Amino acid sequence: MSSANIVLSVPQRPRIVSTGAALRWTLIAVALGVIGLLIAMPLASVFAEAFRQGADAYFGALGDPMAIAAMKLTLIVAAIAVPLNLVFGVVGAWAIAKFEFRGKSFLIALIDLPFSVSPVVSGLVFVLLFGMQGWFGPFLIEHGVQIIFAVPGLVLATIFVTFPFVARELIPLMQQQGTQEEEAAVALGASGWQIFRRVTLPNIKWALLYGVLLCNARAMGEFGAVSVVSGHIRGATNTIPLHVEILYNEYNFVAAFAVASLLALLALLTLAAKAVLDWRLSVSPKPGERKT
Amino acid sequence: MTRLASFLIIGLLIFGCGTLSAAETNLLNVSYDPTRELYQDFNEAFTKHWQAKTGQEFSIRQSHGGSGKQARSVIDGIEADVVTLALAYDIDAISQRGLIAKDWQTRLPDNSAPYTSTIVFLVRKGNPKGIKDWDDLIKPDIKVETPNPKTSGGARWNYLAAWGYALRQPGGNETSARDFVAALYRNVPVLDSGARGSTITFVQRGIGDVLVSWENEAFLALNELGPDKLDIVAPSVSIVAEPSVAVVDSVVDRRGTRAVAEAYLQYLYSPEGQEIAAKHYYRPRLPEVKANYADRFPAIALFTVDEVFGGWAKAQITHFAEGGVFDSIYAGPQ
């Protein structure tokens, strides 16, 4: 290693390295301690509480019809919100990274908006729009369309909250990759769709999956915005996070933590998938190095 | 990538169809916090009764939360066929928006309140702080747990019960009552949004020396979480809490569920409905059911909101509306 030469050539270096090592280990210990206290212990306690009355009680709680309805609903909401955000995210990121147009920074600000708005406000916005006292409410009720306190409202709120994840993941990467490859494809006579499918998409696929992963984790775990538009009708508009709260409030602690453990598992899976994607991202070909 | 996309689309279609076909005859009861267990039992009983009578298959859905918040959801368009809320004013609020007929309170017996309750204290086992009556709650070293009267019906009953107690003390008047209630809220470290949240804060998180609570909620906490941890203390004077029920006219007329919704509420007054209410520590109206459960409910001198406050509409405006008495005495946690 070339750094070894530098260390040898500078006499003070070893001393600095040794105090640096002490500092480094202290920092690592502090970080591990904080992570253990704030993240690992609460996570472990979720499973400990969930299994406090044994595996039968645990699986009994998961097999409860209301719990199953909540899981189904959460999957439905994510299955609608995530693909839509995938499309919006790719389209938005493509427009921002590959084209110059007026109002671009405004568009970026809009995409970031859901990150900065409190989820409660995100939910209330939809109540104000589609609630019976809201702008479109009376019209919708007259035509028998239920948006809030029903699945469409949950989907809308979830889309809003998870909107930035895919685009935010893609924009820096696409900007860094530049437009040379697309320009070359145009010069070779490729159509727009061909360029997207054969040039742009392969370049961004790992970052895209990464964005989808984060988007999905948030979509399934979102509480605030969904809570405002849900109406908490059990078996109908309760997603998993809302169901956990209800069970907890009913003194049903084992069931609450059993259902919560699903969310914890989702988090662990997301983490594992994220680690794999991180690795793929780091080895993914840079623009121009890609084999065809 | 294409495979992933097609997988997602197929998944979407399957789920989409699943939700569409799930429609069936059902009733939605939007209720307040402490009635969860009551309506779980009552819904089962009523479903059986209705199926035996008409052969109709249907199900009842429940939504629970702070009473004021639930009324707000109905106003915002949740499709509640019936509301069973903590107090008449919350139903009045819905009625003011034209969703429920103005005369709703006279459509059913007993002010449309099929069961009553009252406000009692829940304390730690053995009553370590020696809390016996309302005036113990304003002692400086006592931490009182009660929810926010802005969002919780139970909290408003708590507030009015304390006010009524102070009025009935020797030399009691509006000023002394106001000072008393202000002193009480100075001892409140947390205002939860609903009665259930407040109970959980007191019992699970161990915050506070005394929980001012619905009688039924206090008994439920005692049974669920262990009589070895908690005691119920009945104050000398309290308020008759009348949780009211009503059919939401605009919803049942649109959905064609009026007949079953009305039958549902009437069944609350039947011997079986009353029996279920009493079992869940609500004070029943029917004399014979009341007699069966007489030893369950402590004797407390009770006053009504009409006697002391001239009805809910007036109490609401004076005490709980924006800029009312509560706003002027509660300045947030001390």
Residues of chain A neighbouring B62 (CB-CB closer than 8 A):
233-234
Nearest chain B CA: its distance from A189 CA (Å): 23
Distance in angstroms (rounded) separating the CA atoms of residues B26 and B164? 41
pLDDT of B280-334, one tens digit each?
A: 999 999 999 999 998 889 889 999 999 999 989 899 999 999 889 999 988 765 4
Q: Which residues contact A111 (CB under 8 A, 6 or more apart)?
A: A92, A163, A164, A167, A168
Nearest chain A CA: its distance from B63 CA (Å): 4
Distance in angstroms (rounded) separating the CA atoms of residues B215 and B243? 12
Distance in angstroms (rounded) separating the CA atoms of residues B200 and A9? 66
Share of chain A above pLDDT 70, in %: 90
Residues of chain B neighbouring A144 (CB-CB closer than 8 A):
254
Quick one: pLDDT band at residue A143, thresholds 50, 70, 90? confident
Task: Give the residue from chain A lying closest to B195, CA to CA.
Answer: A249
Please answer yes or no on whether A232 and B19 come within 8 Å at the CB atom. Answer: no
Q: At residue B284, what are phi and psi to the nearest 5 degrees?
A: -75, 165
> What is the per-residue pLDDT for A18?
58
Please answer yes or no on whether A249 and B73 come within 8 Å at the CB atom. Answer: no
Q: Compute CA B53 distance to the chain's CA centroid, rounded to the nearest angstrom.
A: 30
pTM score, whole prediction: 0.81
How many CB atoms are closer than 10 A to CB B197? 22
Tokens of B93: 């609020």
**What is the pLDDT averaged over residues A186-196?**
88
Residues of chain A neighbouring B30 (CB-CB closer than 8 A):
231
| Chain B interface, best mutation among A124, A140, A249, A253, by max B CB count within 10 A | A249
Tokens of A18: 């040794």
Residue B33 has pLDDT above 90, yes or no: no
Q: Which of A79, A151, A231 sits opposite B11 (nearest CB)?
A: A79
**What is the pLDDT averaged over residues B40-56?**
93
**H-helix or E-strand spanning residue B303:** strand B301-303
Residues of chain B neighbouring A72 (CB-CB closer than 8 A):
15, 18
Nearest chain B CA: its distance from A217 CA (Å): 16
Would you call B1 an interface residue with chain A, using a CB distance cutoff of 8 Å?
Answer: yes
Q: Where are the alpha helices (DSSP H) in A131-197?
A: 137-142, 151-162, 164-177, 180-187, 192-195
**H-helix or E-strand spanning residue A34:** helix A13-35
Distance in angstroms (rounded) separating the CA atoms of residues B241 and B320? 17
Quick one: pLDDT band at residue A285, thresholds 50, 70, 90? low
**H-helix or E-strand spanning residue B64:** strand B59-65
Would you call B224 an interface residue with chain A, using a CB distance cutoff of 8 Å?
Answer: yes
Whether the CA torsion B319, B320, B321, B322 is positive or negative: it is: positive
Tokens of A253: 């602690």
> What is the per-residue pLDDT for B5?
52
Burial of B304 per CB tally in 10 Å (0-12, 13-18, 19+): middle
Q: What is the overall mean pLDDT for chain A?
A: 87
Task: Give the residue from chain A lying closest to B63, CA to CA.
Answer: A233
Q: Which of A227, A259, A262, A256 is nearest to A120 (CA)?
A: A227
Nearest chain B CA: its distance from A49 CA (Å): 14
Residue A4 has pLDDT above 70, yes or no: no
pLDDT of A78-89, one tens digit each?
A: 999 999 999 999
Q: At residue B103, what are phi and psi to the nearest 5 degrees?
A: -90, 25
Distance in angstroms (rounded) separating the CA atoms of residues B159 and B168? 15
> What is the per-residue pLDDT for B1?
47
Are B176 and B323 within 8 A, CB to CB? Answer: no
Residues of chain B neighbouring A151 (CB-CB closer than 8 A):
19
Would you call B12 an interface residue with chain A, using a CB distance cutoff of 8 Å?
Answer: yes
DSSP letter for B33, please: G
Task: Give the residue from chain A lying closest to B217, CA to CA.
Answer: A250
Task: Give the residue from chain B lying closest to A138, CA to CA.
Answer: B77
Distance in angstroms (rounded) separating the CA atoms of residues B290 and B295? 9
Q: What is the overall mean pLDDT for chain B?
A: 89
Nearest chain A CA: its distance from B73 CA (Å): 7
Which position has the token pair 């609020």? B93
